[in-house]
Amino acid sequence: TDTEKGTYPHFMLKEIDEQPLALRRIIQEYQDEHDHLKLDQNIRETMKVCDRIYIIAAGTSYHAGLVGKQFLEKMAGIPAEVHVASEFSYNMPLLSDNPLFVFISQSGETADSRSVLVKIKEMGHPALTITNVAGSTLSREADYTLHLHAGPEIAVASTKAYTAQIAVLAILAVDTARAKGLELDFDPMRELGITANAMEVLTDQKEAIDELVRDNLGTTRNAFFIGRSTDYFVCLEAALKLKEISYIQAEGFAGGELKHGTIALIEEGTPVIALATQETVNYSIRSNVSEVVARGANDMIFSMKGLEQDTDAFVLPEVHELLTPLVSVVPMQLLAYYAALHRGCDVDKPRNLAKSVTVE
Ligand code: G6P
């Protein structure tokens, strides 16, 4: 069942493997019998009239929000900004005339997010919560809820909730685009279906990832993830995953920022993991890889099929370029998993961390 490990050594590994399934469940849940998107009419109307979206989240959910912002802007044409919940009230942005607040939270219980919700409700603004837990605090206190349908997530490090959040945000963006009569050359359910299959191909490649970890991350003190555009957002999540469970000091960097300081960190043998899933940045991310390799870095390139070069460590099955985070994150989760496993860390219950943080 959902709350038992079964034959898996850890919940995290089980939950990584459940991602294609969760994605297929989302496709089912958000589609009616005529293959139209199924969404609460009130959410649709609210999305149509809002002039700016403020996404509020913490941790992994914040990283999903960064990807979601792109969907809302590129597909639905709504300006969107993403805020770390705990920082929001210190530097509250000037709000637009018709703001909509979107809370992304696996648990629906994160206190930092809740305090923003309380505040913006006092101000009279509408709120939509995207959560994995029906009946959670953030769901009850917001005007609207979208469910992730990912099934219970037990491991402290979030995996399937992240990909479910991204999928639901994509559906929300497409639904809004359609409601607004915008021209979109993107069939979400078809593309998500292709993506679910691609994820399955990746979850079947555990041995290859395990080998990469043993060869490159075995005893390292630190590791860096570099990417541009959408890949940068996934690098932030990849680094968080590795930090959380393996305690390797890891950071995600925007490729273009390397030269502005962070390249100083590269030493002989420093692992640098590069994501290359976007055609528009394939050339520039590869020149970043050459720069770090010239300073002794130990590079591992994860590229999308069609963009790969001979030296790439790993080729990801091709999906729509808006949905690449859903596939590129899978080997990143597995990297973190095997790194933690080989270091003898408690994968499902890392030190000092809690699954949901109900204090500010
Ligand atoms: C905790 C967890 C993280 C999670 C974050 C936000 O710090 O350890 O894995 O991303 O809270 O949780 P939420 O339930 O709001 O998505």
Structure tokens, 54: 């403020």
Distance 219 CA to ligand 1 centre (A): 28
User: What does 166-221 look like in DSSP terms, one character per residue?
Assistant: HHHHHHHHHHHHHHTT------HHHHHHHHHHHHHHHHTTHHHHHHHHHHHTSS-S
Q: How far apart are CA 183 and CA 145, in angstroms?
A: 26
Q: Is 159 in the pocket of ligand 1 (CB under 6 A)?
A: no
- At 108-158, the pLDDT tens digits run 999 999 999 999 999 999 999 999 999 999 999 999 999 999 999 999 999
Determine contact, residues 234/68, Cβ cutoff 8 Å: no
**Structure pTM?**
0.97
Distance 108 CA to ligand 1 centre (A): 9
275 three-class SS: strand
- Ligand 1 atom having least distance to the Cα of 354: 8
Determine contact, residues 145/160, Cβ cutoff 8 Å: no
Q: Is 176 in the pocket of ligand 1 (CB under 6 A)?
A: no
The ipTM, to two decimals, is: 0.97
Q: Is 145 in the pocket of ligand 1 (CB under 6 A)?
A: no
pLDDT at 1: 61
Distance 354 CA to ligand 1 centre (A): 8
Q: How far apart are CA 44 and CA 32, in angstroms?
A: 15
Beta bridge partners of 253: 226
Q: Is 294 in the pocket of ligand 1 (CB under 6 A)?
A: no
Average pLDDT over residues 197-209: 98
Task: Please tell me the residue having the least CA distance from ligand 1 atom 5.
Answer: 59
Average pLDDT over residues 62-75: 98
Q: How far apart are CA 234 and CA 228, in angstroms?
A: 10
Q: Is 59 in the pocket of ligand 1 (CB under 6 A)?
A: yes
Residues labelled catalytic = 355
